[in-house]
Structure 1
């Protein structure tokens, strides 16, 4: 394996694409290129898809960036993020347990959902989890857009969890004090709290702009 590795992060939002090209050399991570690519708002889905393709392809060509080792970050609005607890006995078969219990945590049928999770804390008799759920149709939609460009992402995240990965490159995580990651979107803001390089808590607040308020 090469000691120098690169990856391309593509974050999709409703009004923009954020692209970051990263290079890892030994234990250091460096952003070699990053930009925000504006998108024109449209209510026609195919028009929006074509603009994503054209804007992103132009950026990749202009900067001579490869299409491999891509990590896709879905719009935060497409994901449901919850902190839940399950019995500690479920650990050995946790994914199956969550599949069975998923309907208790989401407002749509479990068969329409894709999900992933992370164990945050093991306590006496229970596990504290971060659960992230998105609709399969949303995942397939964005994968379909990138497939038309010849891109097959290695991983899919939401921006909050993707950004949190930066903390894992801290050379001395055990010595790190409390840290806060703030994500501000068009209709939400979100706080993620870390301590000693580990995720501890999250708070999500939704809001509406003046145009939406006027429609009521």
Structure 2
């Protein structure tokens, strides 16, 4: 079975594969405080990963090897994540007195009730939830399942980079774990938090209530649109547009003619995602909005979202209360922090009690 929930006592390197880069992170714990021991971020060739599907494992493996060289971590026990949209989650009731082996057999016998794929094509795992049920002889069990090919695609990348995975996790679980380490930095009274992750081609809204993810929705939209606007307006190649966007080496009308319209579109997309959340749940508000992903730091974005949506908006940083090893570039990791939420949550797996 896919071991999503089993405890790990070994130090883990969190490996997050996105559309634009491979990110790795290594943590330690000293005197009840987490420390960032090493991290590395290596850009990906455009098209290597599209909408979280790995299309060119060789290029992704090359980027992973570069990230490992940059970080130079102590160990090489790898934790990777499967995209949330590729995983089926179900909470099922089972007899409380079953052993794990008996529970696994029962789940496999009943799997076709919960999983719309042939069982031989699926990897799955389960965890008994601590919350009591109405019947003391029954327990709630969280079942997670994904097509084995989704895991194999990530394992192939690791194999090409001469690495082995110890843990396969789910992005939403990693995000939840990452949020937990800085949740007490949220203002008093914040119970429901939206995390808006604006990636290269995908934007994901995850909503946590009392620290647990209750809603996730992805849609196609991201920073690539801004790069394409720069490309079209100024007659640049896609690569030139990407570099110009990063270096801010652009004509004087860039802000008014390109950036501000893009930011307005981000606000519209965020508002739409929140409305989907409100219409499909019993919630009609969030207490706080966190910006994550590679585009979280775009100048003026958090302020505009705050003005237009009426929520307090801050940029996600899972390292707010962590220490840093001397080799860590503090300015760089602060800039990269919003895009390291998943990698951080993966690295935290080894500290699960």
Give the TM bin, normalised by the shorter chain.
0.7 to 0.9
Equivalent-residue separation in structure 2 for 1:181 and 1:33 (angstroms): 28
Assess if the C-alpha contact under 8 Å between 1:90 and 1:97 holds in 2: no
Does the alignment pair 1:72 with 2:89? no
Equivalent-residue separation in structure 2 for 1:189 and 1:140 (angstroms): 26
Change (3 A) 1:109 1:14: farther
Map residues 133-172 of structure 1 onto 2, 5 A cutoff: 133-166=145-178
Between structures 1 and 2, the one with greater helix share = 2
Change (3 A) 1:166 1:26: farther
Deviation string 1:18-72 (CA, Å, 9 cap, x unpaired) is 3212122243222233454432214899862111111111121133224522211
* Secondary structure in 1 matching 2:47: coil
Equivalent-residue separation in structure 1 for 2:196 and 2:127 (angstroms): 20
Residue in 2 that maps onto 1:182: 195
Q: TM-score, normalised by structure 2?
A: 0.47
Two-structure CA RMSD over aligned residues (Å): 3.5
Residue in 2 that maps onto 1:20: 25
Does the alignment pair 1:94 with 2:103? yes
Relative contact order, higher structure (CA 8 A, sep 6+):
2
Residue in 2 that maps onto 1:113: 122
Gaps (5+ residues) in structure 2? 1-9, 226-353
- Number of residue equivalences: 198
Q: TM-score, normalised by structure 1?
A: 0.73
Equivalent-residue separation in structure 1 for 2:104 and 2:47 (angstroms): 38
Assess if the C-alpha contact under 8 Å between 1:13 and 1:75 holds in 2: no
Gaps (5+ residues) in structure 1? 212-216
Between structures 1 and 2, the one with greater strand share = 1
Residue in 2 that maps onto 1:214: none
